Protein backbone atom coordinates (compact mmCIF):
# COMPACT_ATOMS: atom_id res chain seq x y z
CA UNK A 1 0.00 0.00 0.00
CA UNK A 2 1.32 3.44 -1.00
CA UNK A 3 0.90 5.41 2.23
CA UNK A 4 1.89 8.67 0.52
CA UNK A 5 -1.36 8.43 -1.45
CA UNK A 6 -3.77 6.58 0.81
CA UNK A 7 -2.60 8.33 3.97
CA UNK A 8 -3.75 11.84 2.97
CA UNK A 9 -6.87 10.36 1.37
CA UNK A 10 -7.83 8.57 4.57
CA UNK A 11 -6.99 11.59 6.69
CA UNK A 12 -9.12 13.83 4.51
CA UNK A 13 -12.03 11.38 4.54
CA UNK A 14 -12.01 10.97 8.32
CA UNK A 15 -11.52 14.67 8.99
CA UNK A 16 -14.24 15.65 6.54
CA UNK A 17 -16.70 13.08 7.84
CA UNK A 18 -16.18 14.09 11.47
CA UNK A 19 -17.03 17.71 10.65
CA UNK A 20 -19.74 17.24 8.01
CA UNK A 21 -21.70 14.61 9.94
CA UNK A 22 -22.16 16.85 12.99
CA UNK A 23 -25.75 17.90 13.66
CA UNK A 24 -26.26 21.32 12.15
CA UNK A 25 -28.51 23.58 10.14
CA UNK A 26 -27.46 22.16 6.78
CA UNK A 27 -27.93 18.53 7.79
CA UNK A 28 -31.28 19.27 9.44
CA UNK A 29 -32.43 20.95 6.24
CA UNK A 30 -31.29 18.07 4.01
CA UNK A 31 -32.94 15.53 6.30
CA UNK A 32 -36.26 17.37 6.50
CA UNK A 33 -36.46 17.87 2.73
CA UNK A 34 -35.45 14.27 2.13
CA UNK A 35 -38.28 13.07 4.35
CA UNK A 36 -40.67 15.21 2.33
CA UNK A 37 -39.17 13.89 -0.92
CA UNK A 38 -38.85 17.50 -2.01
CA UNK A 39 -36.08 17.62 -4.64
CA UNK A 40 -33.78 15.84 -2.18
CA UNK A 41 -31.32 14.79 -4.89
CA UNK A 42 -30.90 18.34 -6.17
CA UNK A 43 -30.44 19.65 -2.64
CA UNK A 44 -27.75 17.03 -2.01
CA UNK A 45 -25.98 18.09 -5.22
CA UNK A 46 -25.94 21.73 -4.07
CA UNK A 47 -24.58 20.89 -0.61
CA UNK A 48 -21.94 18.55 -2.01
CA UNK A 49 -20.90 20.99 -4.76
CA UNK A 50 -20.54 23.82 -2.27
CA UNK A 51 -18.47 21.59 0.03
CA UNK A 52 -16.13 20.72 -2.85
CA UNK A 53 -15.63 24.38 -3.74
CA UNK A 54 -14.97 25.45 -0.16
CA UNK A 55 -12.68 22.51 0.63
CA UNK A 56 -10.58 23.24 -2.46
CA UNK A 57 -10.44 26.94 -1.57
CA UNK A 58 -9.38 26.10 1.96
CA UNK A 59 -6.62 23.74 0.88
CA UNK A 60 -5.47 26.30 -1.70
CA UNK A 61 -4.89 28.86 1.05
CA UNK A 62 -8.17 30.75 1.28
CA UNK A 63 -8.49 29.78 4.94
CA UNK A 64 -5.54 31.90 5.99
CA UNK A 65 -6.87 34.82 3.92
CA UNK A 66 -10.29 34.74 5.60
CA UNK A 67 -8.70 34.40 9.02
CA UNK A 68 -6.66 37.53 8.37
CA UNK A 69 -9.86 39.62 7.96
CA UNK A 70 -11.93 39.14 11.13
CA UNK A 71 -14.46 41.78 10.05
CA UNK A 72 -15.69 39.51 7.26
CA UNK A 73 -16.04 36.58 9.63
CA UNK A 74 -17.95 38.72 12.14
CA UNK A 75 -20.41 39.95 9.52
CA UNK A 76 -20.97 36.41 8.24
CA UNK A 77 -21.59 35.23 11.80
CA UNK A 78 -24.19 37.94 12.43
CA UNK A 79 -25.97 37.17 9.15
CA UNK A 80 -25.99 33.51 10.10
CA UNK A 81 -27.50 34.33 13.50
CA UNK A 82 -30.37 36.29 11.93
CA UNK A 83 -31.07 33.70 9.24
CA UNK A 84 -31.03 30.69 11.57
CA UNK A 85 -33.23 32.49 14.08
CA UNK A 86 -35.84 33.22 11.43
CA UNK A 87 -35.65 29.66 10.07
CA UNK A 88 -36.02 28.16 13.54
CA UNK A 89 -39.02 30.34 14.38
CA UNK A 90 -40.55 29.41 11.03
CA UNK A 91 -40.21 25.72 11.89
CA UNK A 92 -41.94 26.22 15.24
CA UNK A 93 -44.74 28.25 13.65
CA UNK A 94 -45.14 25.49 11.08
CA UNK A 95 -45.43 22.90 13.87
CA UNK A 96 -48.24 24.90 15.48
CA UNK A 97 -50.17 25.52 12.27
CA UNK A 98 -52.58 23.30 10.39
CA UNK A 99 -50.32 23.23 7.33
CA UNK A 100 -47.85 21.07 9.21
CA UNK A 101 -50.35 18.22 8.89
CA UNK A 102 -49.56 18.00 5.19
CA UNK A 103 -45.89 17.26 4.42
CA UNK A 104 -46.27 18.43 0.84
CA UNK A 105 -47.14 21.94 1.98
CA UNK A 106 -43.68 22.34 3.50
CA UNK A 107 -41.89 21.74 0.23
CA UNK A 108 -40.55 24.11 -2.36
CA UNK A 109 -42.62 24.96 -5.38
CA UNK A 110 -39.84 24.24 -7.88
CA UNK A 111 -36.43 22.60 -8.19
CA UNK A 112 -34.80 26.01 -8.58
CA UNK A 113 -36.39 27.24 -5.35
CA UNK A 114 -35.21 24.13 -3.50
CA UNK A 115 -31.65 24.47 -4.76
CA UNK A 116 -31.63 28.19 -4.01
CA UNK A 117 -32.87 27.53 -0.49
CA UNK A 118 -30.14 24.96 0.09
CA UNK A 119 -27.50 27.32 -1.28
CA UNK A 120 -28.64 30.28 0.84
CA UNK A 121 -28.88 28.18 4.01
CA UNK A 122 -25.38 26.84 3.43
CA UNK A 123 -23.71 30.12 2.47
CA UNK A 124 -25.23 32.12 5.31
CA UNK A 125 -23.98 29.66 7.93
CA UNK A 126 -20.46 30.55 9.18
CA UNK A 127 -20.01 27.01 10.49
CA UNK A 128 -19.74 25.87 6.88
CA UNK A 129 -16.76 28.17 6.28
CA UNK A 130 -15.14 27.34 9.60
CA UNK A 131 -15.41 23.58 9.00
CA UNK A 132 -14.38 23.50 5.35
CA UNK A 133 -12.27 26.55 4.56
CA UNK A 134 -10.57 27.12 7.91
CA UNK A 135 -10.36 23.74 9.66
CA UNK A 136 -10.01 21.37 6.72
CA UNK A 137 -7.93 23.94 4.86
CA UNK A 138 -5.51 24.32 7.75
CA UNK A 139 -5.16 20.55 8.22
CA UNK A 140 -4.75 19.66 4.56
CA UNK A 141 -2.62 22.65 3.70
CA UNK A 142 0.14 21.47 6.02
CA UNK A 143 0.71 18.20 4.15
CA UNK A 144 3.76 17.93 1.85
CA UNK A 145 3.78 17.41 -1.91
CA UNK A 146 0.44 16.40 -3.40
CA UNK A 147 -0.88 15.67 0.08
CA UNK A 148 -3.19 18.72 0.26
CA UNK A 149 -5.07 17.75 -2.91
CA UNK A 150 -5.32 14.10 -1.89
CA UNK A 151 -6.60 15.29 1.47
CA UNK A 152 -9.18 17.47 -0.30
CA UNK A 153 -10.25 14.51 -2.45
CA UNK A 154 -10.80 12.38 0.63
CA UNK A 155 -12.82 15.10 2.32
CA UNK A 156 -14.94 15.56 -0.83
CA UNK A 157 -15.63 11.81 -0.93
CA UNK A 158 -16.86 11.97 2.66
CA UNK A 159 -19.14 14.88 1.75
CA UNK A 160 -20.61 13.03 -1.24
CA UNK A 161 -21.22 9.86 0.76
CA UNK A 162 -22.86 11.74 3.61
CA UNK A 163 -25.19 14.12 1.75
CA UNK A 164 -26.45 11.60 -0.80
CA UNK A 165 -26.93 8.95 1.88
CA UNK A 166 -28.76 11.44 4.09
CA UNK A 167 -31.06 12.73 1.36
CA UNK A 168 -31.84 9.35 -0.21
CA UNK A 169 -31.87 7.38 3.01
CA UNK A 170 -34.34 9.79 4.58
CA UNK A 171 -36.97 8.59 2.13
CA UNK A 172 -36.98 5.18 3.78
CA UNK A 173 -38.03 6.87 7.01
CA UNK A 174 -41.03 8.46 5.33
CA UNK A 175 -43.52 5.82 6.61
CA UNK A 176 -42.59 6.80 10.17
CA UNK A 177 -43.69 10.34 9.36
CA UNK A 178 -47.09 9.42 7.96
CA UNK A 179 -48.85 10.88 10.99
CA UNK A 180 -49.28 14.61 11.58
CA UNK A 181 -47.78 14.21 15.07
CA UNK A 182 -44.48 12.97 13.61
CA UNK A 183 -44.20 16.01 11.36
CA UNK A 184 -44.92 18.31 14.27
CA UNK A 185 -42.14 16.65 16.26
CA UNK A 186 -39.76 17.01 13.31
CA UNK A 187 -40.51 20.72 12.98
CA UNK A 188 -40.02 21.24 16.71
CA UNK A 189 -36.66 19.41 16.63
CA UNK A 190 -35.51 21.34 13.56
CA UNK A 191 -36.49 24.57 15.28
CA UNK A 192 -34.51 23.62 18.39
CA UNK A 193 -31.43 22.81 16.30
CA UNK A 194 -31.65 26.05 14.32
CA UNK A 195 -32.21 28.27 17.34
CA UNK A 196 -29.47 26.51 19.31
CA UNK A 197 -27.04 27.13 16.47
CA UNK A 198 -28.24 30.73 16.24
CA UNK A 199 -27.47 31.21 19.94
CA UNK A 200 -24.01 29.69 19.48
CA UNK A 201 -23.38 32.08 16.56
CA UNK A 202 -24.41 35.03 18.71
CA UNK A 203 -21.89 33.97 21.35
CA UNK A 204 -19.30 33.46 18.62
CA UNK A 205 -19.97 36.97 17.30
CA UNK A 206 -19.47 38.38 20.79
CA UNK A 207 -16.14 36.59 21.11
CA UNK A 208 -15.06 37.82 17.67
CA UNK A 209 -16.00 41.40 18.54
CA UNK A 210 -14.04 41.20 21.79
CA UNK A 211 -11.02 39.94 19.88
CA UNK A 212 -11.35 42.79 17.40
CA UNK A 213 -11.21 45.28 20.27
CA UNK A 214 -7.55 44.41 20.54
CA UNK A 215 -5.44 47.28 19.15
CA UNK A 216 -3.56 45.05 16.73
CA UNK A 217 -6.75 43.74 15.16
CA UNK A 218 -8.45 47.12 15.03
CA UNK A 219 -5.52 48.56 13.12
CA UNK A 220 -6.32 46.12 10.30
CA UNK A 221 -9.88 47.43 9.93
CA UNK A 222 -9.12 50.81 8.28
CA UNK A 223 -6.72 49.07 5.92
CA UNK A 224 -9.76 47.56 4.21
CA UNK A 225 -11.04 51.01 3.30
CA UNK A 226 -7.89 53.10 3.10
CA UNK A 227 -5.22 54.37 5.48
CA UNK A 228 -6.61 57.91 5.83
CA UNK A 229 -9.95 57.16 7.49
CA UNK A 230 -8.57 57.23 11.03
CA UNK A 231 -6.25 59.85 12.48
CA UNK A 232 -2.64 58.99 13.16
CA UNK A 233 -3.29 59.20 16.89
CA UNK A 234 -5.23 55.94 16.66
- What is the pLDDT tens value at each position of the chain, 234 positions in all? 577 778 888 888 988 887 777 656 777 788 878 877 778 888 989 999 998 998 988 888 765 565 566 777 677 677 767 877 887 787 788 777 644 334 444 567 788 888 888 888 888 777 787 778 877 777 777 677 888 889 899 999 999 998 888 888 877 776 766 567 776 777 787 778 778 877 877 887 888 788 777 645 455 555 544 554 445 544
Residue 232 lies in a domain: no
The domain total for the chain is 1
Residue 231 lies in a domain: no
Residue 183 lies in a domain: yes
The range of the structural domain enclosing residue 107 comes to 3-212
Residue 172 lies in a domain: yes
Residue 228 lies in a domain: no
Give the separation between CA 19 and CA 89, rounded to whole angstroms. Answer: 26
Residue 103 lies in a domain: yes
Amino acid sequence: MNWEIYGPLAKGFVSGASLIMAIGAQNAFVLSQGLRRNYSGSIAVVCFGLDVALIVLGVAGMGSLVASHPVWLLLATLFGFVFLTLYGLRAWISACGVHSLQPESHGFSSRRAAMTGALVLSLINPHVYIDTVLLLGSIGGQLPGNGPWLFALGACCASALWFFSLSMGAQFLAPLFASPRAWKILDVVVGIVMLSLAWSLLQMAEDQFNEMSNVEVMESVPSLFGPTLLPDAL
